[in-house]
Amino acid sequence: MASDNPNNYQAYLLRLWRDDGNTPWRASLQDTRAGQLHTFASLPQLIAFIEQQTVTYNEVKHTWNKQADHTK
């Protein structure tokens, strides 16, 4: 199991629902530690949030370096 470092472990309660068979799925994530609730109108928004929450420092640094290279 991951260490107690909050950067290495995250736990959420995931809820998925839709109003009927013709509407998009919606979602919510509730942080199990802080209780904070995040809601999403679509599954792509949910996935984007999870990706954002799990980006590592090295990935961010790599992206910044690539962006800096393009501005030269």
pLDDT band at residue 54 using 50, 70 and 90 as cut-offs: confident
Question: Around Cβ 57, how many Cβ atoms within 10 Å?
Answer: 8
Q: In what order do the strands lie in the sheet with 26-31?
A: 12-17, 26-31, 37-40
Q: What is the pLDDT of residue 12?
A: 96
The pLDDT tens digits of the residues spanning 2-44 come to 556 666 888 999 999 999 999 999 999 999 999 999 999 999 9
pLDDT band at residue 58 using 50, 70 and 90 as cut-offs: low
- DSSP assignment, residue 41? S
Cβ density class 42-56: b for 16+ within 10 Å, e for less: eeeebeeeeeeeeee
Q: What is the pLDDT of residue 11?
A: 94
